[in-house]
């Protein structure tokens, strides 16, 4: 097996040397197209004068450069309509089940079709409704920035 590997090495070294010599010979010979035509024996055919290639038309990538346009004066803004009031908490499906007081903390037990929750002041009930306060009347909650609404005990 070693003999075969050695033989393959010699063949590849010989081929690399031969290819290097051929490359060296090609680089040493200068090519003259006028002399090559003269050796060809035929008369050179007249060629049209070389014309410069027109610049390539590239598609516009970032848009065309345009002169600045005059600024229009800002229009008077129309006052926005007040945002609609949030619906009452009762209509969202919440019902107050009870209030728990212990060690100065107050929690509210709230029922909803999706499940029951134990909430305290500052908790998010879902749909952006935040508990504002809990007192004897019930749970006061509303969307941030709105007046809190009362979620009282069912009668």
Reported as a single tens digit per residue, the pLDDT across 105-122 is 888 888 888 888 888 888
Q: Which helix H or strand E contains 3, and what residues bound it?
A: helix 2-28
Reported as a single tens digit per residue, the pLDDT across 16-58 is 999 999 999 888 877 676 666 666 655 667 777 777 777 777 7
**Using the 8-state DSSP alphabet, how is residue 134 labeled?**
E
Residue 6 confidence (pLDDT): 96
Cα 107 from Cα 73, distance rounded (Å): 56
Question: Is 139 a residue whose pLDDT tops 90?
Answer: no
DSSP 87-125: PPGGGGT-EEEEEEEETTEEEEEEEETTEEEEE-TT-EE
Q: What average pLDDT does the segment 128-155 reach?
A: 81
Residue 64 confidence (pLDDT): 74
The rounded mean pLDDT for the chain is 80
Per mean pLDDT, which range of 2-6, 32-36, 114-118, 138-142 is the poorest?
Answer: 32-36
**Using the 8-state DSSP alphabet, how is residue 78 labeled?**
P
Residue 50 confidence (pLDDT): 73
Residue 81 confidence (pLDDT): 65
Q: What is the pTM of this model?
A: 0.44
The dihedrals phi and psi of 92, each to the nearest 5 degrees, come to: -85, -5
On whether the CB atoms of residues 138 and 125 are closer than 8 A, the answer is no
Question: Is 2 a residue whose pLDDT tops 80?
Answer: yes
Residue 149 confidence (pLDDT): 81
On whether the CB atoms of residues 115 and 86 are closer than 8 A, the answer is no
Q: What average pLDDT does the segment 63-72 reach?
A: 78
On whether the CB atoms of residues 127 and 142 are closer than 8 A, the answer is no
On whether the CB atoms of residues 147 and 89 are closer than 8 A, the answer is no
DSSP 139-152: EEEEETTSPPEEEE
């Amino acid at each position: 097996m070693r003999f075969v590997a050695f033989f393959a090495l010699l063949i590849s070294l010989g081929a690399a040397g031969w290819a290097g010599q051929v490359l060296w010979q090609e680089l040493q010979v200068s090519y003259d197209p006028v002399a090559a035509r003269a050796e060809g024996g035929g008369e050179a055919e007249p060629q049209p004068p070389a014309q410069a290639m027109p610049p390539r038309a590239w598609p516009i990538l970032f848009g065309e450069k345009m002169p600045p346009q005059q600024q229009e004066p800002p229009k008077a803004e129309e006052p926005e309509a007040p945002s609609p009031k949030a619906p009452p908490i009762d209509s969202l499906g919440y019902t107050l089940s009870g209030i728990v007081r212990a060690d100065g903390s107050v929690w509210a037990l709230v029922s909803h079709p999706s499940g029951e929750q134990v909430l305290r002041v500052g908790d998010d009930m879902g749909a952006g409704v935040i508990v504002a306060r809990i007192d004897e009347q019930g749970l006061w909650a509303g969307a941030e920035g709105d007046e809190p609404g009362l979620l009282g005990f069912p009668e």
